[in-house]
Structure 1
């Protein structure tokens, strides 16, 4: 069925392409956060707005936009019993760990408030750990989850996933909070007027 595989490839390429573009934006932001963690650990001046907005973006965007698309693909993959649940369990665990890590990190920076000088080293270490975990997660998804979905799901699966839960097409440019759009643009990411 070359025709069906070609159709699936086009639809899967679109959705996987959206997720990979998110990963590219995350990578640029993670690099910036890693540099801030180095400065923070060294007692240098840091960009607190970048830290706060960056962590908020990773948490809010991943939770509200990025991970739901991955979870929809995972649900379809699970329906096909294509991976005996191994990829799905690992993906879900990683998403939970990242959400917990981002929530704790956001809370730690907020709670430290003005007293961050005494907590610089632990906060910098926590930030480095989160950056490392998120990079490893993105690499794992691109090496394991995306290929598994590409192999197991057919044209009809991808077409249904492309229309989303409400029957509307998953937009290539997804809406972003203006402060997140501004942050990504400042970091050199190309962001359309409608979002990513």
Structure 2
């Protein structure tokens, strides 16, 4: 029953959409590769000639959104953003599984952070821990893109293999197995105010693909 509850709770957290655009918290994706050596999504320098071939080929709605973002923000580079998004996906999942609220606060906007933090608190109150492992990211691609006023938003769909294990307070496995990975399809939306001098993006919405 505990394992079933946790599974439902994790689904609700990863599937919850932020309903309000809150003030971006002080924490940001770190601009430089620090100890974990993970490149965050950043708007790195690139001219339009470099961006054009990358943007072309998407469905019309996505291509239009990406072109609007790249036109408004001349420093936007899709390839660099996607590499950073994959790194952020790994780091956020690991931080959630380990209950690292400090890491999550730096990578997520306020709404998403509160959802993750609430799930961590419930897990701790029940005396259980997650011993999950991201086996691999099979695929990542742009799911949607739009420029909402001065806020750029890009949703990325991640297809990954994740092995999940739930342990009780004594460390005993009560659900799952590290030997059996399950395919996960998550849609994460990253946002950035293009007026900001800070080139970093925040995770501001999560959903199940």
Query: TM-score, with normalisation over the residues of structure 2?
Result: 0.27
Structure (1 or 2) with the greater strand fraction? 2
